[in-house]
Amino acid sequence: MVYTSLVGAVTATGITTPEWSLNVALVMILCNLFALAIGYKAIQKSGVGPKLPVGLPPLFSNFGVPELIATACFGHLLGVGFILGLGNAGLL
């Protein structure tokens, strides 16, 4: 009952998403870098999976493919939330 009224309210108002711009890209990049920094410090068992095929600076020792995928997923989730929130607030 409540679900149908919520769906009706959302579809009646409509959800606006911002068009792609340099500001949107900058927000997504910053969110991914933030997630990378958090993931590097928070992942407890790093370096278990396969290594990245590119050379990394010594700062990212024991940072492999699983860690990169995990932090990129988290960064994109943060980015989508920030972009939609900032877009609906009228800041993007």
| pTM to 2 decimal places | 0.74
Residue 65 included in any domain:
yes
Residue 73 included in any domain:
yes
Answer yes or no: is pLDDT of 86 > 80. yes
Answer yes or no: is pLDDT of 11 > 70. no
49/91: higher pLDDT: 91
Residue 30 included in any domain:
yes
Residue 39 included in any domain:
yes
Residue 3 included in any domain:
no
Residue 69 included in any domain:
yes
Residues contacting residue 56 through CB under 8 Å, at least 6 positions apart: 63
Structural domain boundaries, residue 51: 17-88
Residue 25 included in any domain:
yes
Answer yes or no: is pLDDT of 1 > 60. no
Gap between the Cα atoms of 64 and 34, Å rounded: 18
5/66: higher pLDDT: 66
Question: How many domains, the chain?
Answer: 1
Gap between the Cα atoms of 85 and 58, Å rounded: 36
Predicted pLDDT at 50: 77
Predicted pLDDT at 51: 79
Which residue has tokens 């095929």? 53
